Structure 1
Amino acid sequence: MNLTSILKLLGECPLVVSVQAPEGSPLRDDSTLVRLALASANEGVRLLRAEGPSSLQAIARSTGLPVMGLIKRTYEGSPVYITPTLAEVEEVLSAGCRVVAVDGTGRPSLARSR
């Protein structure tokens, strides 16, 4: 997946649906998140955003759509928690995602130090 193909998908449907549930939520299980992703796909969504290795794998496998993946993890001394280091990037890629969501703010990142 490259920028051109992502832009093509967004041209077909400019909505990216985030299929996530916070820790402790009754929606936080892969089968529920897959159903939400499938419902989104049935409505024409072409790109999904999801969190966590098992959810990323399940959603990508079940929908056949590209998934923008992320891992939420906190590290002491860093305000960045969305895919904060290269270790999380590797987890997202290992889960089968070709698009990785990262913190896009100007906050200091630990990515270079881990």
Structure 2
Amino acid sequence: MKLGNEETLQRIKGGLIVSCQALPEEPLHSSFIMGRMALAASQAGAVGIRANTVADIKEIRNMVDLPIIGIIKKVYDDCPDVYITPTIAEVDALTACGVEIIATDATRRDRPGGETIETFFSKVRAKFPDQLFMADCSNVEEGMEAAALGFDLIGTTMASYTPYTRGCPLPPFDMIEYLVKNCGKPVVAEGNIITPEHLRHAMDLGVLTAVVGSAITRPLEITKRFVAVLK
């Protein structure tokens, strides 16, 4: 059952959200496995899950009673770079399966059909006025703009993933600190938080919550980091 907005925000406050995702080309691509990943995260003390696709979200919902940040990664031919919940069709699907928070790319790049984030979000907010939306941003300017547009949570998810932020320091602590102090909305630290020390520092900067994914739920990437030091 979907939680109310205030209860959702209270339950994730000060805690760890674990991203349980696997793309089709990855060995763990399976809704069954993502459900078990979420169960393990829940048993370890996670306060929420970030998940991709309706199928994974439904399986995770069967396994845990935690707030879910839902996304749908879909690549459109005319817009290969903006793929996190890129159109209102994906938003429709996520609201239908009852996720507490919907995250979407909120970078300044045009979306499928040449749509801007401003046009996209105005339509989304009008259609779903009571849904919590999280903006996946890549820099301070995008975070501030997303807050002004009316996003409920501002995330640092896309730092280093846009051409104009490639090579930026990671985790993006300066971005996190600035947004916490200035954007007026709850900030979600996400992106390249790979150690407990990173997580602690992000929390100390005043974020509402933090999302950790690859460092916990992607053994392929974790193993690569260990193997790299042997070469």
- TM-score, normalization by structure 1: 0.86
The code of the aligned residue for 1:85 comes to T
Higher relative contact order (CA 8 A, sep 6+): 1
One of 72, 83, 86 as aligned partner of 1:84: 86
DSSP 3-state at the match of 2:13: helix
Instruction: Name the counterpart of 2:103.
Output: 101
Per-residue CA shift, 1:15-63, capped at 9, x if unaligned? 1110001112221111111111000001111110000111011101210
Unpaired runs of at least 5, structure 2: 124-231
- TM-score, normalization by structure 2: 0.45
Q: Answer 1 or 2: which has greater helix percent.
A: 2
DSSP 3-state at the match of 2:108: coil
1:69–1:38 CA distance, 2 compared to 1 (3 A):
same
DSSP 3-state at the match of 1:64: coil
Q: Hey, what's the Cα distance between the residues in 2 that align with 1:12 and 1:41?
A: 15
Verify the 8 A CA contact 2:8 2:100 in the aligned structure 1: no
Unpaired runs of at least 5, structure 1: none
* Higher Rg: 2
Displacement of 1:77 in angstroms is 2.4
Q: CA RMSD, aligned part only?
A: 1.8
Q: Hey, what's the Cα distance between the residues in 1 that align with 2:27 and 2:51?
A: 16
2:15 is equivalent to residue 7 of structure 1: no
Verify the 8 A CA contact 1:84 1:103 in the aligned structure 2: yes
Q: Hey, what's the Cα distance between the residues in 1 that align with 2:70 and 2:12?
A: 16
Q: Quick one: percent identity of the two aligned structures?
A: 33
Q: Hey, what's the Cα distance between the residues in 1 that align with 2:111 and 2:7?
A: 28
Displacement of 1:98 in angstroms is 2.5
Instruction: Name the counterpart of 2:25.
Output: 24
2:59 is equivalent to residue 58 of structure 1: yes
Displacement of 1:87 in angstroms is 0.2
